[in-house]
Copies of this chain bind each other. A is one copy, B any other.
Amino acid sequence: MENKRMGKRTIKLVNSPSIINTATIVGPKEGDGPLREYFDIILEDDLWEQESWEKCEKKMQEEAIRLVLTKANLTENEIDYLFSGDLLNQIISSAYAARQISIPFFGLYGACSTMSESLSLGAMLIDGGFANNIICSTSSHFSTAERQYRFPLEYGSQRPFSSQWTVTGCGASLLSSSGEGPYINYVTTGKVIDPGINDVNNMGAAMAPAAVDTIMQHFKDTGFNPDDYDMILTGDLGAVGKSVLLDIMDSQGYDLSKVYDDCGMKIFDNLRQDVHAGASGCGCSASVFNGYIYSELKSRNIDKLLLVSTGALHSSTSTLQGETIPGIAHAVSISNFKN
């Protein structure tokens, strides 16, 4: 059998899984931001006629999955697997959405790296001939995350400037063995990297070293350099993490300044919308990638993208027990041209 492995941690996909369609649903604040025109559905409030924010987040995932099926003119019976996850304890948004939809379900937890984790696994299963169509989906919701990880919203806790604003948003990608692109060509899988940060209001810095590690490994494994990409896009490092990443990459001899951006710096107008260091959450890279970036790929404004969703793998229990915050980042290389 052909060896599909390149270097230490990269897979070259030879059967070119194609992202044939996407769907995005975001909250009102995200809909008021600079990417508003790229989202399929913008909610008028953060409950969407549900009894709780958690039920709203579950509805967002369910409806995004149904929407991407409708857009691709496929039914759930034609989908082989659903890969999804979210930030909530026991990934209830994903699990309860999957309950409503009759698709074999692999639940993931990669914190905010889940979008590229799901694309990595989905692309490999299609490339290996195990599936024809796979949906990858993930979500986050400001109000469910805030009360689970931090404080009750009613408490009105003050936010330090390094803190980020969890995106209320969901994105779903439909991968297929047939289709005309954009194609997933390479997958570089992350290791858990812990820089020793224990400030839960500075997650960008906690995640940046994991993103650096994965991006550098991708370059080493493939022989690519930053100029080979039109865009290298991390998930949710925000202002602090973005600056940390550029500094470390520069010190390692890689100038990413011309091609690098972060989903967490694109979805909000940080100053006007008062989100401090930018956006975060599974739904951040999910809605930015499946909305704005997918549109840019389809219109050929971007031809080659390295998407590197980034996750912080702590919990409120681990923090209370004195643990630092480990990060992880998974890279998928997406192009309008087949391998």
Question: Which of A81, A124, A190 has the most chain B CB within a 10 Å cutoff?
Answer: A124
Q: Is A104 an interface residue (CB 8 A)?
A: yes
Q: How far is the CA of A52 from the CA of B321 in the complex (A)?
A: 8
Contacts of A52 in B (CB 8 A): 321
Whether A129 pairs with B3 at a CB distance below 8 angstroms is: yes
Q: Which of A95-103, A272-280, A285-293 interfaces with chain B?
A: A95-103
Which residues 115-136 of A have a CB within 8 angstroms of B?
A: 117, 120-121, 124-125, 127-131
Whether B128 pairs with A98 at a CB distance below 8 angstroms is: no
Question: Which of A105, A121, A328 has the most chain B CB within a 10 Å cutoff?
Answer: A105
What distance in Å separates the Cβ of A95 from its nearest Cβ neighbour in chain B? 4
Q: How far is the CA of A315 from the CA of B107 in the complex (A)?
A: 14
Contacts of A131 in B (CB 8 A): 5
Residue pairs across A and B with Cβ atoms less than 8 A apart, 14 shown, are A1-B15, A81-B189, A89-B89, A89-B90, A89-B315, A90-B315, A91-B313, A92-B318, A95-B326, A96-B323, A106-B189, A107-B109, A109-B109, A128-B130
Known: A92-B315, A104-B191, A106-B110. 5 other contacts (CB 8 A): A89-B317, A95-B192, A98-B192, A106-B108, A107-B108
Residues of A near any B CB (own CB < 8 A)? 1-5, 9, 11, 15, 51-52, 54-55, 80-81, 85, 87-92, 95-96, 98-99, 102-111, 117, 120-121, 124-125, 127-131, 148, 189-194, 313-318, 321, 323, 326, 328
